[in-house]
Structure formats: structure tokens, C-alpha cells
Amino acid sequence: MRSILFLLLLSAGVCRSQDLVFAISSGSAMPMTAFSGYTLSGGLLKDFGDALAAALQLTPRYLLVPRKRVEEMLQTGKADIVCDLKPEWLDGKNYAWSSAIFTNNLIVASRTDTPPANTLRDLRDARLGTIHGYRYPEIDAEIGVHYTRDDAMSDEVNLAKLVLHRFDYIVTNSLYFDYARYVHPSRQQLNAVSLKINSFNTYCAIRPDGKLTLAQLNRAIDALHRRGAIDQMMARYRTAPK
């Protein structure tokens, strides 16, 4: 009996060692993530995670947590990797950061009945739809405390509030907003013109003492880039779904 128990425990440990566990923010939305209950069922992050794990000959597993707990999962070893982030978005300074995975734009978006902001100064004294736990240093540097954050847990909630005229502007990213202009039920209300705050790359972070070395991770990511796999993934979400 003891030998059977030992073999079962050993087998469970081997299975866990063959998993690549991603911490995923439950507050993200398409095109990055689609959820079925508490399961990640689709989206760009799942496409990327599945491809990355395959390149590393590991099995992807997705741990869904609130945005504020994503870093905690990496710190405590409950997750092996977090992706689609920038170093300044996390508090820890000792993570190993990968090659760039996605390129995106931080934007201020509006409805068609609202003039688009031309500069950040146009947002002075405005109420902005923002994401809980996110930092916006460019806005803070330009207009300081002279705006009001209206935090939501996801871009989807913010977009719903924008359509309901709770505020006139949301701070979001172009991948999300451009996709919403194809698929959202109120897409005709969404302004095609937006204010670009900046362009940015996002990366994956791992612990230096974790399952992967940075060299292993970068080799896998670079291979996906070389064969055009990441460009193909992103292209799926830049046109209207068929």
C-alpha cells in the first residue's frame, strides 16, 4: 500500500513538473482572453500560451486570478510565468523578463458623440474610465490630480459604462478597442478616432529560480516570432470574426 501511495505521489509530482502554469487576470477581456466559467477558453493569451508551452514541450495550465493577485501567484510559485506585462507594471524588481511578445498602444477612446481628445490636457477635470490596479504615469505626469479615476475591474465593464454615458472617455488599449469596434453590440457608438498615449511592447516574466531559464524562454518566443506564429495569432483579432 505504501509503495502504491508513493508511486501516486511521484506521478502527481511529475505531472506538475510537466505543466507550465500561467497566471491570468480574470479582469481581462477579448481579444486577450475569453472565459467559460472559471476556465480560459480562448483569446490571444491562450493562443500564445498554448504555442509557447508546445515549443517548450510542456502542458499549459491557466490560473485565473484578480489583476491584483497576478504578481502574487508568480512570487509564491503558484504560477511559473505571467505574460503581456511590462516591468514597471509589477512591484517586484527581481524577475527575469523575456523578449517582447506583443506590440500594443495605450489610448484614450470615446463615443462618436464626443469629440476625441487631441492631447492629454484635454482630459483635465474629466472623469476617465480606468482599470483597478493599473497605473497611468503619462496621464499623472501631464495633468496630475486634475482628473477623476472611475475604476472598473475590466475593459468590458468600462466600455459598458462608456456606452451608458457614465463618462466620455476610457483609457484602454488599441487591441481591445479595435476588436470591440468589430464585435460590440453598440459598436456604432464607438469612435474610430482615439488619442494614442504611447506604443508599447509587452513581455513575460519568470522567477530566476523558477522552472524555466530565461534562455529557454527566449529561444521559444524567438522561434514563434521567426516563423510568424505570433503575427498570425494577432491577425485573427484584427478583423471582424467570421
The identity of residue 22, as a single letter, is F
Residue 9: per-residue pLDDT: 43
**pLDDT band for position 12 (cuts 50, 70, 90):** very low
Whether the predicted pLDDT of 14 surpasses 50: no
Spatial neighbors of 207 by CB under 8 A, at least 6 apart, are: 74, 75, 77, 94, 95, 96
Whether the predicted pLDDT of 135 surpasses 90: no
Q: Which of 8-12, 208-212, 227-231 has the lowest mean pLDDT?
A: 8-12
- Domains of the chain, by residue range, sit at 12-102+200-236, 104-199
What one-character-per-residue DSSP string does 190-219 give?
B-S--EEEEEEEEEEEE-TTSSS-HHHHHH
In whole angstroms, what is the distance from residue 145 CA to residue 139 CA? 9
Cα–Cα distances in Å, from 5 out to 9, 15, 16, 23? 6, 15, 17, 30
Q: Which CATH class is domain 104-199?
A: alpha beta
The CATH code of the domain at 12-102+200-236 is 3.40.190.10
> pTM of the entire structure?
0.81
Cα–Cα distances in Å, from 27 out to 31, 132, 154, 158? 12, 9, 5, 11
